[in-house]
Amino acid sequence: MSIDLSSAGVTLQYAVENTSGTMPTTGFTVVPGIKAIPDLNPEPSSLETTTLEAMEWKTYIPGLRDPGAALAFTANNSEAFQTAWASLVEAAETAKEADKSIWFAIVIPGLTKAFYFTGNPSPLGLSAIEVDSVLEIQPYISPNEIEGWNAKPTQG
């Protein structure tokens, strides 16, 4: 029997490669204040392969999947979050200068694996503000490579 999981305790974490082109397994840092994570399960495009011999049904093969140009997360816009995000952006810039990537892990309690991807975080702007509401912000990460599910990382 499987046990259904909750979103409680899910974290977005990041680490810079130690060796260019190799996903790190340790040294991950949690990004605090994340409230929502965007969909990283886009459907593949369908490439039609129907030949003239077909009499009733078209045939397809899966094509590429597009995670989107910039993924919008949602976070509480606190001083702690802004400081952590600025450190993330700085780490990404330093990594890029050294020809290394920054890896992100979405860690879900109750699963033995985490979901990994590389990407570039964007500096924060200012999200919309409304009366009588929590001050939130949408930080963006532009994905470069989707690794998918792999063993959980060790925090640094």
Structure tokens at 29: 């840092």
Q: Give 123's contacts (C-beta < 8 A, 6+ positions apart).
A: 86, 89
Tens of each residue's pLDDT in the chain, 156 residues: 678 999 999 999 999 999 999 999 999 999 999 999 999 988 889 999 999 999 999 999 999 988 878 999 999 999 999 999 999 999 999 999 999 999 999 999 999 999 999 999 999 999 999 999 999 999 999 999 999 999 998 876
What dihedral angle (degrees, nearest 10) is formed by the CA atoms of 70, 83, 113, 156?
140
Give tens-digit pLDDT for 58-80. Answer: 999 999 988 878 999 999 999 99
Q: CA-based angle 5:8:13, to the nearest 5?
A: 105
The CA distance from 141 to 1, in Å, is 36
